Structure 1
Amino acid sequence: MNIVPIPLRRPAAVIGLSLLLLQMVAIVFAPLLSPYDPTHADPLASLMPPSATHWFGTDINGMDVLSRIIYATRINLLISVSSVLLAFVVGVPLGLLIGYYRGLPSNLAMRLFDFVQAFPIFVLGMALVSVMGQEIWNVAIVLAILFIPIFARLIRAEVLSLRERPFVAAARCSGATDIDIMFRHLLPNALMPAMVQVSISIGMAILLTAGLSFIGAGVRMPVPEWGLMVSSGAQQMILGVWWVSLFPGLAIVIAVLCFALLGDVVRDLLDPTKASRSDKKAEEPPALPIGETR
């Protein structure tokens, strides 16, 4: 009998969990892993290439790139995870309400979501950050506003397909209130797509955070942030100074890949029937050609 959990039998799941563990280590042990202060500028060490002294080189201000990448893991994941969790907490109940109750309020909410999602993400993000200010928590709130319609639409679609099922009618006949039906019967059955979307949205939030900082609408210097580091090194890349932008860019790729792979793990954990079917299929012996016997 194979006692290894089904999600861990996939190489993608192992890679995703390993990358997540790597980021957790960087977050927790950043002061121990960073060889230099991430915000300390040394003009005499400006744009030094990778060496034994500075493994990833230095930027134009003389700040150590490796130290800034390690500390930026905290900033980027703090903004991304907090924004997605806030969007989940707000969007799931909202989607449950507009999916269960039909009428003018539900239609107005959907039109508001259409209005928010009709704007280019970076344009809307720049506008909101400009109004609220370029602070870490303001960027997180802006991203949460952008993600709330995604979770609300997912839950609403599931609720619309479940609200006419026989188990809902049975609960209503037994005297259950609307609150009981929504939160005890509909929500547990409608939550799986939103749970899978959390991991995917965190990867999207990392890209958006880096993108806003790249165009100057995110956090400000000298805060260590991956997109801001890529932006500060983009101007020197044409001169052959590749390390300032390359290493934080690779950090963005690793973080986004990690949460994309973990989305599959979450789906397998929340849908054991699909995982068991794939497991049984993997254990079945291959079919023999017609006319042959074992």
Structure 2
Amino acid sequence: MTLTLVKAWTAAKDRLKDAGIDQPSIDARLMLEVAAGVTRTEIVTDPYRELTAEQVATLNDYLDRRAKREPVSHIIGRKGFWKILLQVNKNVLTPRPETEVIVDEVLKAFPEAMPFSMLDLGVGSGTILLAVLAERPAAKGLGVDASDEALAVARDNAANLNLDGRAALLRGDWTAGLGDASFDLVVSNPPYIPTAVIETLEPEVRDHEPRLALDGGADGLDAYRLLAPEILRVLKPAGMFAVEIGHDQSKAVEALFRDAGAGEVRTVKDLSTYDRVVVGVKNPLETGA
């Protein structure tokens, strides 16, 4: 039996729905696009195009994997974020819409033509760093990560986006070895999930995302305790920071940054109205005190 694009999409949606997958229609379309080498528009405008036997086999393999709760981003090897498309795999966190709050706050603070230097701690696939650099052509940035595998993904993404000339990537332990007052902007999406909570997460996250990028210690705050004073150390006076947080961590993370000497500390909510990002500045050097 021949399988057309519209029949393949419908059958894939039904199969994923039966498997209990959230958003089966979207997942089915994304996998069909890659398996059949088509765009979303082509599925709509040329619905009766027939798939080859090889394309059907590829789609069925994708559906088998998704039914076992492997993330779509890992299956197709890519994920959209902000205005860029990123390669992803099991060695990096899948970019999430909530993290776009950081990009939005940064772009509000740094006009398009302004040259500035940024640091992305725990850069992963390059998500935040590359999204900002793509929007701010006068900026340059450094991404640091403890994972060689994650850095390999980030390097590929930087090259694919023609941003490798402005994005340096370094294996390191957070800010170790970085000089004082070196950056105008520091961003981070550190691990913030309490250790005991990880086993309760959806299988897509619990079984397929790198544990190093998830586990924030007993209360989820281990990374912030280390990062708050270190981010203030490497920021230039009046420099800005923005860090992603868990939905119930606003007060604790704000306090850590205030105690480290940050000013104008506030929390920004995501589109679901959850507390999502703590932002602030390094107080300018006092004179005549």
TM-score after normalising by structure 1:
0.23
Based on CA coordinates, which of the two structures has the bigger radius of gyration?
1
More helix by share: 1
TM-score after normalising by structure 2:
0.24
More strand by share: 2
